[in-house]
Amino acid sequence: MEATTLSSWNVAATVDGRVLGQGNLKINVQEVSWTSLASTEKVYKVDYASILKYGIFSTTSVVDWQRGLTLICNSEGNSPDKREFFFLLDDSLTSVLLILFELVDLDPTISLETLPNRSQDSKEDARICTSMLKTHVTCLKFIGQFLFSGIGDTLHIFSRNESGSDWACLISYKICQGQNIYGIEANGKYLVIYGGKSICFLWCRIDQGKPRIRLIYSFTVQDWVLDCIWLSSETSIAVLTANNAVISYDLLLNKITQHSISYCSERCILYSGKLLGNNWNDITVLAGTVFSTIMIWSNDWDSSSVNVIHELEGHKGVIFSITFCELTHRISSTSDDRTVRVWDVEFDDPSTLDWKNCSISLKFSLYGHSARVWKSNFLFNGKVVSVGEDSRICLWNNDGILDNQWSGHQNGEIWSLAVTETYELIATGGSDGGISLWPVARAPLPRILTFDSSLAESTPRCVGLTEDGSPFMVNNKGDILIHTMGSWQLVMNDSRFSSYCLHSVSPSRTLVAFGSISGCLLICRIALSSISKLLDINVCNGRIFSMVWLSDHKLAICEANGVFSIWNLSVTPCALERVLTFILPYSKERWITSCTANDQYVICGDRFGSLFLYSKQGDENPIFCAKRIHGHNGVTDLKLIDGKVLSTGRDGKYREFVIEDEKLILLRCWKLKLDWTAAIIETKLLQRVLICFHEVFFVIWSIQERRPILKIDCGGGHRSWDCLIDSVNNSIHMTYIKGKSVFYCCVPAKDVVSHTVVHGGHPKAINAAALVPLVQKGSFDSQAHHNQLVLLGGEDTTLRLVSVGNNCETQLSVLQSHLSSIRTVVCLRSKFQDTVYVASGGGRGQLIVWKFFQSVKNSLLEIIELSSHCVIESSNKNQEVPHDVAEMRIMDLELHQNSSEILAIAAACSDGVLRLFNYEISTNIISHLEDVDRGHCLLKIIHVEWDFPFLVSACTSGLLVLHRTSSNGITKQSELENSYSVSDSGINSCDYKLATDHLVVSCAGDDAHVNIIVFALNSEKLNMRYHWKNETAHTCQISGLKMAENWLFTTGLDRTLAIFSWTLADGEFEASLLSKYHLCIPDVHGTVVWRQDCDDRIAVYVHGLGTQLLRFSCNL
């Protein structure tokens, strides 16, 4: 199709201040051109790549925009090749947008701004920009087939692919720097986005999956915006503010006209509110107050203030959200009192929704949350969904009964909620920065598979599922039955299985083995909902204790005295052959509960929770043992997938191992907060999942999603059960025995399968971050893809490895070994081994040493735990630990290596003690060497390698103390006289740069002052030469500080990133504040910085309640 060209005659033009008179204007997809009417030689052209700013300004009244349009084009002073490009017009906004957007397909990266909103310090801001942001998802909204989200100050638009399995981000658009987005309202091609006191007006259109979005302008109101709706006019909105007032705005040509304002007679502070209606004179306000009541009032132009027409009482806390359903005429409200309350509204005339003539009564008080409930919403069928602080998503039916409940966002808070009738999905956004989708479906209810009269007196002993999901069972009469065509059908009877019967189904579910108390083994074929005998053989002289299929042709059978054998099954001719025999070490209950194998090894778990590794080329005894690693209740399952050994146990933990040097090396351990994990299943439908039991529920837990995706109320764990995830028919089957009945449940996959739009990170604050240095041989070279590996430690007790790219952050590993919050992480590239060591510390005085590991058989990079040490440990578990000792935390760590066998660790502790440790690599033991009591809580410590190594510690008293150390890391008590008073308050951050003859130390803390101290180095002691201080860059506590080359980056709780430059030349020191940038993440805890290869920019990675990556241009 031919490109659209817009032509306009008699357009006045002003270029670089020169009036060029009247001319013809043409606009197409390539350029803007103006030709003078007086002389065709006077032609002015500009292409869009050269246009710096767009703007629309009102002028005198114009009737015909074709004849009244004025074009102004000016050069940018510092960039002659850039242009400012404006239209002067006082006509409808639509016509101008047709010129700028609809007839000309501008590049979506070009921002539409107005001249008055141009930043006064834009030259400084141009040096730094946000590249990636991951923080609280504060807003979600389905508009058509697209999902709009507000993450910090950035708008993201997601679209579902054709298969419906994945959602992709179409565009990310920064709306208003540093201000969270709390609401999105659409009106055709226009959007209003609000948050805090800011309102942004945008134009948006998505054609064939390609979004185009422009910020027309933004403005600030005098109070917090709680809700916003479009009025009947195309460009008019009504805004509800926190002081219980409604304001009407006309959004015209760069002109915001406060058309009307209406105040409620109750001028109270609101926490939430909802505007109803689209006509200014008919607007109704549902206002949630801080004193537990809901006020309802409507506009009344006959008075200066409007009286409350309804006041709803029932909540016992602050009202956090209110919404209204026109379908059911119900109000839903959420509160600080942990409840959702549903109110019935009875209108005299339901067709008019006259709020002045209606009655409102409390219908339901819904109790399903264990903490504050932030939001609720009505579904398209009138049901209610609610989310809150407890990470729960509760679905309530029209009778106020809990239909379903999920737990998501890694036990973090859920801040935002949206529903779509198109896809029948619920979307939630959480404090982990993730966005999840949930099916609108009630929780499945198992049913009893009843017995006919001939089986009424029988008792089921074991149950299983066939390949197509049909249940089968063996009862106390030795009957083998299968449930098909709605009833139990007898397959065969074998009295050998009447008193005792074990069964095991093969991985493909085409074979089932039955074992008896006398050593008889019956193998049957399963096909087309039928069971037929294949092989009947005696495998031992006594009881068969357990059976595990390793594959469809290999079976592990355990008999008395811990003897277990591997048998090969051949079908033609049908035969069973013993190929390997092993013996378990002695224990009280000596039989295997799980088993797996590869070409070299056999791995099994026993009833006492231990894992054993056997060599197929060795003898019958294990070559490695991990005793009681899953607790005394036993190992439940083992799988060998992608070169890793995966295990689950009744301790509720999931572990991953690799086999190296004939040992099982633990990679990670997840405590799932479930009673016990029963099985590991790898499927096409749900990827890798864990089958678990928790309280009265059967749970399917997704490893990829890191959350439960299905819960079935089954009464708890059972002696016999089975689960089938059918990827062919897209269904999930479960059967179990409870009492003397067999229960069965079949759930369609569409009611279970949910999707993660954005994967979450830490659900709580990130306290520490450390760059992972590359090893010398490049084994862990993450920069092959221009990404940086970063280790993050947080309040949620997890240590996470992430890969940070230019525009994304990918989580690689999650480690759960800390007992309390992680306060510090430090990495060290070994000078002697081809690896990277890691030390992490935090609450309860816990110190853990880790190592990066890359298996020869597996190219994936892993982190393994080497050793753990608690500073405060009691040999007697019942002994009471003093309160002040129990609360001791490791605040900071330093790690260095002086020999191939020893890692020296220095720990700054909250009890004021500097503790020194050695980690011996060969013995894998952490030894406590020495304590140095400084009397004040130590916050930071740095290790300086010079002619003599020394430590610099910082504490809450504002002192910097220099500790000289010997080669083995032990502090010499006689060398502690060097201390310097830097601040009157605590020093939270510290870093240094080492020059030839000077040490430059920067530090900052609670007093919001930035300090740079220059020490002259000599063989005897350190002499302070300069002390430079800045008191204006931050307004409150500084929480992070890093030096890179001749730059200093500081972050604080005021959400400000400050950038300083410093020089030290010819013995003279100079420093200055260069730039400041407002951050999007709250509660900033610190920062790390790095420079990418072949790039003139420094990456600044800020962490707190989320992460933010910024790029600082050094040469701009």
Tell me what pLDDT residue 780 has. Answer: 43
Average pLDDT for 712-732? 89
Tell me what pLDDT residue 938 has. Answer: 92
Does residue 605 contact residue 627 with C-beta atoms inside 8 Å? no
Q: With 80 as the cut, is the pLDDT of residue 631 above it?
A: yes
* Residue-wise pLDDT tens digits, 297-354: 987 655 567 889 999 999 999 999 999 999 999 999 999 999 999 999 999 888 888 8
Mapped onto helix, strand or coil, the DSSP state of residue 718 is coil
Q: Tell the residue number behind the tokens 């994304």, with chain if given.
A: 808
Average pLDDT for 1074-1081? 91
Residue at 885: amino acid letter? V
CA dihedral over 169, 170, 176, 177, signed as positive or negative:
positive
Q: Which residues contact 813 (CB under 8 A, 6 or more apart)?
A: 668, 800, 801, 862, 863
Residue 46 covered by a domain: yes
Does residue 299 contact residue 264 with C-beta atoms inside 8 Å? no
Residue 1093 covered by a domain: no
Residue 767, sorted as left (phi over 0), alpha (psi -120 to 50) or beta, turns out to be alpha
Tell me what pLDDT residue 509 has. Answer: 94
Confidence class for position 68, pLDDT limits 50, 70, 90: very low
Percent of the chain, pLDDT > 70? Answer: 83
> Which own/partner pairs from 1013-1019 qualify as long-range (CB within 8 Å, at least 24 positions apart)?
1013/960, 1013/980, 1013/982, 1014/1064, 1014/1069, 1017/946, 1017/947, 1019/947, 1019/948
Neighbours of 52 (CB within 10 A): 17
Mapped onto helix, strand or coil, the DSSP state of residue 560 is helix
Last residue of a domain, one of 71, 97, 123: 123
Residue 650 covered by a domain: yes
Tell me what pLDDT residue 63 has. Answer: 27
Average pLDDT for 204-232? 85
Confidence class for position 430, pLDDT limits 50, 70, 90: very high
**What dihedral do alpha carbons 63, 67, 69, 71 form, nearest 10°?**
-170
Residue 607 covered by a domain: yes
- CATH classification at residue 667: 2.130.10.10
Considering just the CA atoms, what is the radius of gyration of the chain in Å?
A: 35
Rounded distance, CA 673 to CA 414, Å?
Answer: 19
Q: Can you read off the two tokens belonging to residue 210?
A: 């390609």
Omega prior to 573 cis, within 30 of 0: yes
Q: List, in sequence order, the alpha helices (H) in 520-659.
A: none
Mapped onto helix, strand or coil, the DSSP state of residue 774 is coil
Rounded distance, CA 899 to CA 47, Å?
Answer: 63
Residue 288 covered by a domain: no
The answer to which of 1-15, 203-217, 259-273, 607-621 has the lowest mean pLDDT is 1-15
Last residue of a domain, one of 71, 104, 123: 123
* Residue-wise pLDDT tens digits, 824-875: 999 999 888 888 999 999 999 999 999 987 755 555 678 889 999 998 754 4
The answer to which of 303-307, 463-467, 667-671 has the lowest mean pLDDT is 303-307
* Nearest-5° Cα angle at 673, 671 to 679: 70
CA dihedral over 971, 974, 975, 978, signed as positive or negative:
positive
Mapped onto helix, strand or coil, the DSSP state of residue 558 is strand
Residue 836 covered by a domain: yes
Per DSSP, the residues of 837-851 read: EEEEEEGGGEEEEEE
Average pLDDT for 722-726? 94
Q: Can you read off the two tokens belonging to residue 736?
A: 């179990």
Does residue 209 contact residue 158 with C-beta atoms inside 8 Å? no
Confidence class for position 108, pLDDT limits 50, 70, 90: very low
Total-model pTM: 0.86
* Residue-wise pLDDT tens digits, 438-459: 999 999 999 999 998 788 788 9
Tell me what pLDDT residue 1019 has. Answer: 62
Q: Which residues contact 352 (CB under 8 A, 6 or more apart)?
A: none
Q: Can you read off the two tokens belonging to residue 891?
A: 């605040």
Per DSSP, the residues of 408-435 read: -GGG--EEEEEEETTTTEEEEEETTS-E
The answer to which of 85-99, 116-130, 330-344, 672-686 has the lowest mean pLDDT is 85-99
Which of 254 and 510 is assigned the larger pLDDT? 510
Residue 706, sorted as left (phi over 0), alpha (psi -120 to 50) or beta, turns out to be left
Residue 922 covered by a domain: yes
The helix (H) or strand (E) run that includes residue 626 is strand 624-626
Mapped onto helix, strand or coil, the DSSP state of residue 809 is strand
Per DSSP, the residues of 136-155 read: -EEEEEEETTEEEEEETTEE
Q: With 80 as the cut, is the pLDDT of residue 426 above it?
A: yes
Confidence class for position 1093, pLDDT limits 50, 70, 90: low
The answer to which of 324-333, 966-975, 999-1008, 1062-1071 has the lowest mean pLDDT is 966-975
Confidence class for position 615, pLDDT limits 50, 70, 90: very high
* Nearest-5° Cα angle at 20, 18 to 25: 125
Rounded distance, CA 787 to CA 789, Å?
Answer: 7
Neighbours of 453 (CB within 10 A): 6
Structural domain that includes position 953: 815-873+885-981
Q: Can you read off the two tokens belonging to residue 534?
A: 């294949």
Percent of the chain, pLDDT > 90? Answer: 57
* Residue-wise pLDDT tens digits, 369-405: 999 999 999 998 899 999 999 999 999 999 999 999 9
Residue 47 covered by a domain: yes
Q: Which residues contact 1 (CB under 8 A, 6 or more apart)?
A: none
Q: How many domains does the chain have?
A: 3
Last residue of a domain, one of 926, 946, 981: 981
Average pLDDT for 41-55? 49
Average pLDDT for 643-659? 92
Rounded distance, CA 953 to CA 941, Å?
Answer: 4
